[in-house]
Copies of this chain bind each other. A is one copy, B any other.
Amino acid sequence: MIGHVPVNQLKRLLVGTPLPTAQSRHERLGKTTALAVFASDNLSSVAYATEEILRVLILAGAAALSLSMPIGFAIAIVIAVVISSYRQTIGEYPQGASDYLVAKDNLGTFAGLTAGGALLIDYTLTVAVSVSAGVAAITSAAPVLYPYRVGLCVFAIGMVAVGNLRGLRESGRLFALPSYLFIAGFVVMIVIGFGRYMLGGVGGASAAGPTTGAPLEGPLTAFLVLRAFASGAVALTGIEAVADGVPAFKPPEVRNARAVLVMLGTIMMTLFLGTTVLASLFSIVPRDEETVVSQLAWLVFGGGPLYYYVQAASMLILVLAANTAFADFPRLAFFMARDGYLPRQFGNRGDRLVFSNGVLILAVTAAILTWLFEGSTHALIPLYAVGVFTSFTLSQSSMVRRWFTTRPEGWWWRATLNGTGAATTGLVLIVVAAAKFLDGAWIVVVLLAGLIVVFLAIRSHYDEVAHQLSLEGYDGPPPMQHTVLVLVGDLHRGVVEALQYAKTLSPDAKAVYVELDPERTHRLEERWVKFGLGVPLIVLTSPYRSLLGPLLEYIDKLLTRDGNHVVTIVLPEFIPARWWQHLLHNQTALLVKGAMLFRKNVIVTDVPYHLRH
C-alpha cells in the first residue's frame, strides 16, 4: 500500500499506540466524580437555555420578556418529574438503562428503534449545539473571533474526536474539575446577582446593542409562549445520562446512581432558575454577538476576572458535554449494531479499545451540521429537543408497561409516577414538535422516520444473509471440478512464474492467449516451446479485438460441461515500483477482474511479479 507507513505514523501520533484487549475494563466512579461526569451534558444547557426562551419572547417585544420566569418554573417542574421517573428506571435496569434497550425490552422493536434513532440524532445535535454554544461563550468575551466561529467549532469537534479515539472518555478526573468550576461560577454569579438586585445596584441592561431576530414587534400569542417553552425545554437534554451509566458507579450502584440523579436535578434546577430569574430581573435582551450569560455575568461582575471565569467555565463544560455525546453515540451504535440494526463496523473496537467508527461518524456529521447552520446555537435549537423528548416519552411509557407486566410491590404508584413522566414528556414532545415544526423540527421528524426504515432494511439484510449462509440442513458442497487457466498476452519471466504457480494448483493447467495479431501469435508459439514449461497453449481468435469476449465465451463453454465446475483464471501481473508507472501499462488485470466479479464459479488470481525500479 503506497503511503502505508506515513499514514500509520500519523495515526500513531494522533491516536496513540494500540492497547491490548485485556485492558478493557470500566473505571468505577464515586459519587463526586460521577456527578461531574454525568452532569456536564445536562448542566451545560444552562449556558443557552435561558437565552433560547428570551429569543422567542422578544418577538413580542421587550415587555414579553418577563414571561421567562413562569416558563422557567414550568420547565423546572418538568425536570423534577423526569428525575423522579428515571429514579425508578435505574432500579429496574442496573445494567444500564439506555432508552433504546428499555423501549425495545418493554414496547417492542419499533419503539426501541424510534428511541434509538431519536437518541442518535440527539447525540449528534448535542455535539453541534454544545460546541456552537461553547464557541459563542468565547466569541462573546473576544468578539474579534466571531467571524471565525464555524472554523473554531469544527476545530473543537476535531479535537474532542481525536481525544476520544485515544480513549480518554473513561477518565473521570478530566471531568471533575470543569464541572465543579462551572457550578461554582454560576452559584457565585447568581448569589452576587441577587444581592446586587436587592441593593438596587444594577438596572436595565445592555440597551446599547440592537436586539435580534425581530425588527418588527409581533403580538404575544399563546403559540409564542409555547414556542418559548419548547425552546427552553432543551434544559432537559442529557438528563438521561445517569440512568445510562449505572454500571459505571461504585457499589451499591443503584443507590449511588439515584443519589447522583437527584443531586444533578437539584443543581440543574437551581442554576437554570437562578439564571432565568436574574436575566428577567435585569431585563436582559438577547443579541446575536453576545450570549445572555455573558451579558448577565458582565452586569453582575462588571467585567473583571470573575466575568472571564464564568465564560471560560461555560466553554469548558460545553466542550465536555460534547465529549459525553462522543461516549454515548458510539456505545448506542454498538448496541444497535449488535442487534443488527446498524452496520457491523460500529461493533469494532479500535486500537485504543474505543468504537472508532462511531466516533468518526459522529464527528463528521456534527461538523457538517455546524457548518450548515453556521455555528449558530439558536438555529440548531429547534432540531434539538424533539429527539430527547421522543426517547424520554418512550422510556417512561416502557416503564409503565413494565410495572403492569411484572407487578412488584407498590407497582401501582410506581406506574403512576412513570405514567406522569410519560404524559408530561409526551405533552412536551407534542408542544416542541408542533411549535418548532416549521423552524426545523420537521427535519428531525423526517430524519427519524428515514432512520427507522434504514435500521429495518439493515436488519432484514443481515437476517437474509444469515439465512443464506446457514449450515442448517446443509450437506456440504457437491464434488468440484476445477480448471486452471493462465491468461497470457506475452511470454516473459512474470508469465513463466505464473505458469509454474498454475502447475502447482492443477496438473492440467492450460494457458489461454487471445489473438489480436496473428503475427505475434506465431512468435509466441515459437518461444512457448522453450519456455512454456509444458503447459498447453490455447489460442482464441478475436475478430473484434476484444480481450474479454473470446475469453468469456471459452469459459462459459467450460462451465456448461459439468455441474459444479470452477474455473480459476491465473493472471500474471507485474507490479511496477512506482505509482506513475502503473499508467504505462494496460490495465488488463483490472479489466478481467471487473468482468469476472459477478460471474459465478470463476475465480481470478493475480500472480504478481515485482519489478525492482
Which residues of A are interface residues toward B (Cβ below 8 A)?
A: 1, 18-22, 343-345, 348-349, 351, 458, 461-462, 464-465, 468-471, 474, 476-477, 480, 482, 491-494, 496-497, 500-501, 504-506, 516, 527, 531, 533, 542-546, 566, 568, 574-576, 581, 583-586, 594-595, 597-598, 600, 603-613
Chain B residues, Cβ within 8 Å of A500: 476-477, 480
| Additional pairs, 20, CB under 8 Å, beyond known A1-B595, A477-B496 | A1-B598, A18-B544, A21-B543, A21-B544, A21-B545, A343-B584, A344-B584, A344-B586, A348-B586, A349-B545, A461-B581, A469-B493, A471-B491, A471-B493, A474-B496, A476-B533, A505-B505, A600-B608, A603-B606, A603-B608
Question: B471, A496: Cβ atoms under 8 Å?
Answer: yes
Chain B residues, Cβ within 8 Å of A576: 461, 465
Question: A343, B583: Cβ atoms under 8 Å?
Answer: yes
Question: A603, B607: Cβ atoms under 8 Å?
Answer: yes
Partner among B480, B493, B506, B612 whose Cβ is within 8 Å of the Cβ of A474: B493
Question: B468, A493: Cβ atoms under 8 Å?
Answer: yes
- Which residue of chain B has its CB nearest to the CB of A464? B613
Q: Looking at A491, A544, A568, which has the most chain B CB atoms within 10 Å of its CB?
A: A544
Chain B residues, Cβ within 8 Å of A568: 605
- Minimum Cβ distance to chain B for residue A37 (Å): 26
Chain B residues, Cβ within 8 Å of A533: 476
Given A545-B349, A574-B465: A501 in contact with B527 (beta carbons within 8 A) = no
Chain B residues, Cβ within 8 Å of A598: 1, 575, 610
- CA distance in complex: A203, B108 (Å): 94
Chain B residues, Cβ within 8 Å of A22: 543
Question: B476, A494: Cβ atoms under 8 Å?
Answer: no
Question: A504, B492: Cβ atoms under 8 Å?
Answer: no
Question: A480, B468: Cβ atoms under 8 Å?
Answer: no
Question: A531, B492: Cβ atoms under 8 Å?
Answer: no
CB pairs A–B below 8 angstroms (24 shown): A1-B594, A19-B544, A21-B545, A345-B586, A351-B544, A458-B584, A461-B576, A461-B584, A462-B584, A464-B613, A465-B574, A468-B612, A469-B574, A471-B492, A471-B493, A474-B493, A474-B496, A476-B531, A477-B497, A501-B603, A568-B605, A600-B610, A603-B608, A604-B606
- CA distance in complex: A500, B480 (Å): 8
Question: B607, A605: Cβ atoms under 8 Å?
Answer: no
- Which residue of chain B has its CB nearest to the CB of A587? B345
Question: A543, B20: Cβ atoms under 8 Å?
Answer: yes
- CA distance in complex: A574, B568 (Å): 17
Question: B531, A504: Cβ atoms under 8 Å?
Answer: no
- CA distance in complex: A495, B18 (Å): 30
Question: A493, B505: Cβ atoms under 8 Å?
Answer: no
- Minimum Cβ distance to chain B for residue A127 (Å): 23
Given A566-B501, A586-B345, A594-B1: A493 in contact with B480 (beta carbons within 8 A) = no
Q: Looking at A474, A545, A594, A604, which has the most chain B CB atoms within 10 Å of its CB?
A: A545
- CA distance in complex: A22, B598 (Å): 32
- Which residue of chain B has its CB nearest to the CB of A20? B543
- Minimum Cβ distance to chain B for residue A528 (Å): 11
Question: B343, A471: Cβ atoms under 8 Å?
Answer: no
- CA distance in complex: A496, B575 (Å): 32
- CA distance in complex: A504, B545 (Å): 34
- Minimum Cβ distance to chain B for residue A458 (Å): 6
- Minimum Cβ distance to chain B for residue A423 (Å): 39
Chain B residues, Cβ within 8 Å of A480: 500-501, 504
Chain B residues, Cβ within 8 Å of A1: 594-595, 597-598
Question: B527, A471: Cβ atoms under 8 Å?
Answer: yes
Chain B residues, Cβ within 8 Å of A497: 477
Chain B residues, Cβ within 8 Å of A545: 18, 21, 349, 351
- Which residue of chain B has its CB nearest to the CB of A471? B531
- CA distance in complex: A415, B116 (Å): 89
- Which residue of chain B has its CB nearest to the CB of A578? B461
Closest 3 CB pairs of A and B: A469-B492, A20-B543, A482-B504
- Which residue of chain B has its CB nearest to the CB of A591? B1
- Minimum Cβ distance to chain B for residue A596 (Å): 9
Chain B residues, Cβ within 8 Å of A610: 598, 600
- CA distance in complex: A493, B491 (Å): 39
- Minimum Cβ distance to chain B for residue A32 (Å): 33
Chain B residues, Cβ within 8 Å of A501: 480, 482, 566, 603
Question: A493, B465: Cβ atoms under 8 Å?
Answer: no
Chain B residues, Cβ within 8 Å of A349: 545
- Minimum Cβ distance to chain B for residue A491 (Å): 7
Given A501-B603, A566-B501, A584-B343: A20 in contact with B544 (beta carbons within 8 A) = yes
- Which residue of chain B has its CB nearest to the CB of A493? B469
Chain B residues, Cβ within 8 Å of A20: 543-544
- Minimum Cβ distance to chain B for residue A441 (Å): 28
Chain B residues, Cβ within 8 Å of A581: 461
- CA distance in complex: A574, B469 (Å): 9
- CA distance in complex: A21, B609 (Å): 32
- Which residue of chain B has its CB nearest to the CB of A541? B21
- CA distance in complex: A480, B501 (Å): 8
Question: A494, B477: Cβ atoms under 8 Å?
Answer: no
- Minimum Cβ distance to chain B for residue A60 (Å): 48
